[in-house]
Structure 1
Amino acid sequence: MSKGTPPKKQLAIDDLCINTIRTLSMDAVQKANSGHPGAPMGLAPAGYVLWTRVMKHNPKNPDWPDRDRFVLSGGHASMLLYSLLHLTGYDLSLEEIQNFRQWGSQTPGHPEYGHTPGVETTTGPLGQGFANAVGMAMAERHLAANFNQPGHEIVDHHTFVMCGDGDQMEGVTSEAASLAGHLGLSKLICLYDDNGISIEGTTSIAFTENVAKRFDAYRWQVIKVKDASDPDAIEQALLAAKAETNKPSMIMLKTHIAHGSPNKQDTADAHGAPLGEEEIRLTKAELGWKEEKPFAIPKQALTAFRRCVKAGEEAEARWKKAYQAYNRKHPRLADNWVNALTRFMPKGWEANLPQFKPEDGPMATRAASGKVLNAAAAIFPSLVGGSADLAPSNKTFIDGSPEFQKNRYDGRNVRFGVREFAMGAIMSGMFLHGGVRPYGGTFLVFSDYMRPSIRLAALMKLPVVYVFTHDSVAVGEDGPTHQPVEHLAALRAIPNLTVIRPADATETAQAWQRAIAMNDSPVALILSRQKLPILDAKLTAHGVEKGGYVLSDCKGKPRIILIATGAEVHITLKAQEMLAGKGISARVVSMPSWELFEDNSTEFKNRILPPAVKHRIAVEAGIPMGWERYVGPGGSVIGIDGFGASAPGGTVLEKFGFTADKIVETALRMLK
């Protein structure tokens, strides 16, 4: 739009389009008798301007690689997003808008990735969408640095995120914003819905900081829009943000929640409840809305919104033409680009992973993981990640690759800093962007800090990899604050998360192999600090793939089955020998992954754990919760019911009963 005063006709169309978003949002929430009308009404001008004037997107192809990304971090304002998707021409019908928040609809209460065309990520738990957007911006910069060539830029897009006061209160937003500013992610633009209202009332009851100064300190460009209902002012702010090449940008919009509502504007009542039929009638009159029926979309408004279809198709066509030229000029890079986007896996890639032998000597599974990671990184250039300031301990550094830093975005080693929660959410954003396979490491005990991001990754079925080391009380001297006890059970409780706790270096290699091949589940690798003997690869072959397998069997029918994971597998093998010396036949089952084991047929599971064998002992340095499903009513679990203690790791294990003697003692008592 040209500078100066817009013509009256344009002003009329702008108002009509903005109010269409508002009325659709009001009507959908009212019909559902559930939802959040206030934020969509206040943000309607910003959404309209962004989607129709600034954002590069193709409604007919939501997966176009070089599209701008849009994240609604305050997912409760979902009707803003659904309205924009329908109006601009995405495959989301008006009937779906009318079925807002109903069973089976494409318009759930909060946006869900993979459920609604055009939704880039699942949002709702505040702050996580903001961190997802940081991850998307990081992925864009990484791909641009590795694939763009002079005169041939096939990666050149922005990530836009809308957030509210609640997002700003969440710590994960601060973590992610700090990292984004450090990295100078200039293609990241945030629109802040500064409406001053939360569920309990005005934000002044709990939130009085100067957000502008905070983001200035984070090294962001801060742009204030005085009138958040002025489309031209919003557009100018967005263009100024796009023009910034050194910093991410924060656009502060002083909006009015439930804009236009005579009785509920700027009140907490409009945050999370329908306005009511009478208030909607009054609001529509206040807005000058001429349509009488709910869910009405004026033809002029729809025509204006649907111009996005042609604009998007033309933008993608230009990109395709540019990509064809790129392909001719740089065919090898073009092949690598396609491989990255499609997560291509060369046939037989597993053969390039390191092979471990018993004669190599004891090795911590975290050390084995580092070796496997580096071998895999040589095969998969899209493998990118790091650690929450623990790379030397987690063994998550890719040797020979630079760090991912400001103006060095080609690096594959990300320094997340001490920001576990942000790391998890950023990893999800990186994967959602496409073209990279992210991984991130920390100590297992700190998985608590990032649990909400793990949960959303599992909900979205994102195959990201979490590298959790220092997996038990064997951590030793650091004491109970750093010794995970309940964490394995807590992670296993998350649906669709695959938890793998390998027993040795070979199982670790298999675990990484499975994690990289995974398409629909995040994977948590649980790794030891202490060195562990390396088992004969013939015994462990394909064991992790099955989740549980017979590692060492006895002659004939076993009288007792010993089940273990990780480091505890080795003491069960010793216990098996001791029991054999007493004439007791025992089977040792290594069960690195409950989730993978449960994927097998009942016949297979019964072959590993014969129902007829009632005497079973599970051994794991964590709380016993969950093991009852495998040991049964006649079995026993050797675990930990309290917290750990500070002492050398071996001493702690011994004091808590993780010894072969304790297993034998338990078995003899059981067999009496």
Structure 2
Amino acid sequence: MGNNTPENQKDLDQLCINTIRALSMDAIQKANSGHPGAPMGLAPLAYTLWTRMLKHNPANPAWFNRDRFVLSGGHASMLLYSMLYLTGYDLSLDDIKNFRQWQSKTPGHPEYGHTSGVETTTGPLGQGFTNAVGMAMAERHLAACYNTKECEIVDHHTFVVCGDGDLMEGITSEAASLAGHLGLSKLICIYDDNKISIEGTTAIAFTEDVGARFKAYNWHVQKVEDGNDVDAIFKALKKAKAEKNKPSLIMLRTHIAYGSPNKQDTPDAHGSPLGEEEIRLTKKNLSCPDDTPFCVTDKALEFCRQCLDKGKKAEKKWQRQVKSYEKDFPVLAAGLKDAISGDLPEGWDSDLPSFSNTDKAIATRSASGKVLNAIAGKVANLIGGSADLAPSNNTLIKDSFDFQKDSYNGRNIRFGVREHAMGAILSGMALHKGIRPFGGTFLVFSDYLRPSIRLAALMKIPVIYVFTHDSIAVGEDGPTHQPVEHVVSLRAISGLTVIRPCDANETKEAWRYAIKNTQGPVALILSRQNLPIIERTESNSESLLENGAYVIYDSPQKPSLIIIATGSEVNIAIEAAKTLEQKGVAARVVSMPSTELFEKASAEYKDKVLPQDTSNRIVVEAGITMGWERYAGDKGEIIGISGYGASAPGGTLMKNYGFTSDNIVQKAAKMLKL
């Protein structure tokens, strides 16, 4: 960009790089909190990538065909904020000055949906790296589905910057292994090899050969020995973009807090401000034109802001491609437009299966598989898989094939035994847009992807988790595979909607809700064992499930007892209510598949389902009792589990742990003093 001579351009490059360093130092010092070391060491890389390589439009951060940039080491957020400000995104110098302050646009770690240009929320190490793998997978799938020989309408790269901490995390190993297997050549990772961690040099805990490790993963690996060499960085990036068969790792040897006379290459520079005097000395050492805090020269800003014009031209060029594409390939163009917008096709749920109480009992995991396939037949961008448990989770799309290196248009993703990576990859696919991702595993293994679920909830992205084998009814596999605390644990995640359906019909409605919902992740909690299809006395569960709970069985008289249950326990609750009726007790059964949705319902609806003047209540769920106190009330009873399960047939376990209609009747008789 520009008409500078090589020597003048070199000076301008250095001015811009040092501006990034100075902004980072100053913002962190003003906040008296933050991580200056990595932004200072990575400034040459960020400058080179954002001004010379990255395809982006600061005036439209949501441009679909942009390159994605992920800062996996989110503690280096001032590096990203500096680039967003300098290149012309909706981030001002005042926002930079307000770093880490209340309601600022520049929080301590980058937050998706909060700051213009931030692609994903990062900070928990390894998550951003794995999100990037998901983004690259989404790009490849959409390209395979919608590109033609005449027009590559989906064509962009995903760049991710990670550090030693990211690579120490197990999730990164899982994701890198899968990315290499899939040959995601449009994924480029720059490894900030600064050899410093919080506790000291990385030599105290991290001495592996990173390059050899990634080569073994089937990655293309390069090394740049001087992290300040702009030309070498640019050449490595160009070479990585030219690679067509493998994802790329660029090992960039940097120096944490570069330029600081006393803190360069020390752990002290990782997570603490440098101090005013050290900043003054550093700016002098770097030959900054001014040591005034937040000094940005017109020359540096003008040069970096050329990204605005460059980005607008790139997007306009793509828009011209789109017009031609729409004319030549109208069906494909309409499909891609719907996928990107997230709009569901008309009649998307018209083929959902019907389940009658005269049908045979069916496990909700099996019902889920039938519903999933019916939806997949209409919603073309529904794609997902399982952590090596697809036959058990019923997560295979039967009319499709595997997503693999030679078939990126496949909709069945084989994640392998990589639950944590699966969770973060699903998030990356959702963040990319154009994809409705789902992933399955046993409920007991939801702990393995909990950090990814939490971040999906924080970002309010529509990921669907299919968690099967939901209780001690798993049976013979024993307590290691029997979830007890997991449903309650998932309910504790703010922004996650947990749905534990009682039969095939509730499962259908759970999927309907999950697909329609775009404001956060949904976890479906499904049974291994067959469950009868329940006849509703009030109406069927459609629409009522959206309120989280409803009356599934009621006595003609005003109830003197309310039994609240979820999942497989609803049927035994109904059996108990019928037995109690014979004893002269008017009992109501409330199916409460989702406490989150019930809490969002109106006060009037809640009181209709759970009248406040009915204090005799029994709650039944095959898990720990925590949280159910608010529905049981002071006089109520909760039938649950304390401790773990055991190895025995599922029916035997349910009986011995008290999940029977007889036990509910006995509890009710004692409560009502029959």
TM range (shorter): over 0.9
Equivalent AA in structure 2 for residue 219 of structure 1: N
How many angstroms apart in 2 are the aligned matches of 1:635 and 1:604?
21
CA RMSD in angstroms, aligned pairs only: 1.1
Question: 2:12 matched to which residue of 1?
Answer: 13
Matched, 1:140 2:131: no
How many angstroms apart in 2 are the aligned matches of 1:153 and 1:348?
30
- Secondary structure of the 2:350 match is helix
How many angstroms apart in 1 are the aligned matches of 2:545 and 2:322?
41
How many angstroms apart in 2 are the aligned matches of 1:203 and 1:384?
39
1:28-69 C-alpha deviation (Å, 9 max, x unpaired): 000000000000000000000000000100000001110000
Structure 1 residue 8: deviation in Å? 1.3
Question: 1:551 matched to which residue of 2?
Answer: 552
* Structure 2 counterparts to residues 69-88 of structure 1, below 5 A: 69-88=68-87
1:131-166 C-alpha deviation (Å, 9 max, x unpaired): 000000000000000000012111110000000000
Question: 1:262 matched to which residue of 2?
Answer: 261
Structure 1 residue 346: deviation in Å? 3.0
* Structure 2 counterparts to residues 192-231 of structure 1, below 5 A: 192-231=191-230
How many angstroms apart in 2 are the aligned matches of 1:457 and 1:45?
31
Structure 1 unaligned residues grouped into runs of 5+: none
Q: Structure 1 residues 348, 656: CA separation in 2 closer, same or farther (over 3 Å shift)? A: same
Equivalent AA in structure 1 for residue 332 of structure 2: L
1:155-193 C-alpha deviation (Å, 9 max, x unpaired): 110000000000000000000000000000000000000
How many angstroms apart in 1 are the aligned matches of 2:459 and 2:91?
20
Structure 1 residue 545: deviation in Å? 1.3
How many angstroms apart in 2 are the aligned matches of 1:539 and 1:569?
15
How many angstroms apart in 1 are the aligned matches of 2:185 and 2:462?
27
How many angstroms apart in 2 are the aligned matches of 1:179 and 1:379?
28
Question: 1:629 matched to which residue of 2?
Answer: 630
Question: 2:152 matched to which residue of 1?
Answer: 153
Structure 1 residue 567: deviation in Å? 0.2
CA contact (8 A) 1:110 1:123 kept: yes
Question: 2:469 matched to which residue of 1?
Answer: 470
Percent identity between the aligned chains? 66
* Structure 2 counterparts to residues 528-567 of structure 1, below 5 A: 528-536=527-535, 538-567=539-568
How many angstroms apart in 1 are the aligned matches of 2:635 and 2:562?
12
Equivalent AA in structure 2 for residue 486 of structure 1: E
Structure 1 residue 217: deviation in Å? 0.4
- Secondary structure of the 1:349 match is coil
Question: 2:105 matched to which residue of 1?
Answer: 106
Equivalent AA in structure 1 for residue 231 of structure 2: D
1:514-535 C-alpha deviation (Å, 9 max, x unpaired): 0000011100000000000012
CA contact (8 A) 1:424 1:440 kept: yes
How many angstroms apart in 2 are the aligned matches of 1:558 and 1:618?
15
CA contact (8 A) 2:161 2:189 kept: yes
Question: 1:641 matched to which residue of 2?
Answer: 642
Equivalent AA in structure 1 for residue 549 of structure 2: G
How many angstroms apart in 2 are the aligned matches of 1:160 and 1:347?
36
CA contact (8 A) 2:345 2:379 kept: no
Structure 1 residue 402: deviation in Å? 1.2
Equivalent AA in structure 1 for residue 635 of structure 2: G
Count of matched residue pairs? 670
- Secondary structure of the 2:115 match is coil
Structure 2 unaligned residues grouped into runs of 5+: none
**Which region of structure 1 is more displaced relative to structure 2, 195-204 or 464-473?**
195-204
1:384-406 C-alpha deviation (Å, 9 max, x unpaired): 00000000000000012110000
- Secondary structure of the 2:99 match is coil
How many angstroms apart in 2 are the aligned matches of 1:148 and 1:434?
16
- Secondary structure of the 1:540 match is coil
How many angstroms apart in 2 are the aligned matches of 1:540 and 1:65?
38
Question: 2:42 matched to which residue of 1?
Answer: 43
Question: 2:618 matched to which residue of 1?
Answer: 617
Structure 1 residue 539: deviation in Å? 3.8
How many angstroms apart in 2 are the aligned matches of 1:634 and 1:14?
72
**Which region of structure 1 is more displaced relative to structure 2, 164-173 or 554-563?**
554-563
Give me the TM-score of the superposition, normalised by structure 1.
0.99
1:300-349 C-alpha deviation (Å, 9 max, x unpaired): 11111011111101111111111111111001110001100011123443
- Secondary structure of the 1:70 match is strand
- Secondary structure of the 1:545 match is helix
CA contact (8 A) 1:13 1:301 kept: yes
Question: 1:456 matched to which residue of 2?
Answer: 455
Equivalent AA in structure 1 for residue 463 of structure 2: V
1:574-594 C-alpha deviation (Å, 9 max, x unpaired): 100111111111100000000
Question: 1:183 matched to which residue of 2?
Answer: 182
Equivalent AA in structure 2 for residue 329 of structure 1: D
CA contact (8 A) 1:159 1:188 kept: yes
Question: 2:573 matched to which residue of 1?
Answer: 572
1:324-383 C-alpha deviation (Å, 9 max, x unpaired): 111110011100011000111234433321111112210000000000000000110000
Question: 1:514 matched to which residue of 2?
Answer: 513
How many angstroms apart in 1 are the aligned matches of 2:511 and 2:663?
32
Structure 1 residue 115: deviation in Å? 0.2
- Secondary structure of the 2:406 match is coil
Equivalent AA in structure 2 for residue 269 of structure 1: D
Question: 1:165 matched to which residue of 2?
Answer: 164
CA contact (8 A) 1:539 1:552 kept: no
1:15-36 C-alpha deviation (Å, 9 max, x unpaired): 0000000000000000000000
How many angstroms apart in 2 are the aligned matches of 1:278 and 1:61?
39
- Secondary structure of the 2:383 match is strand
CA contact (8 A) 2:509 2:541 kept: no
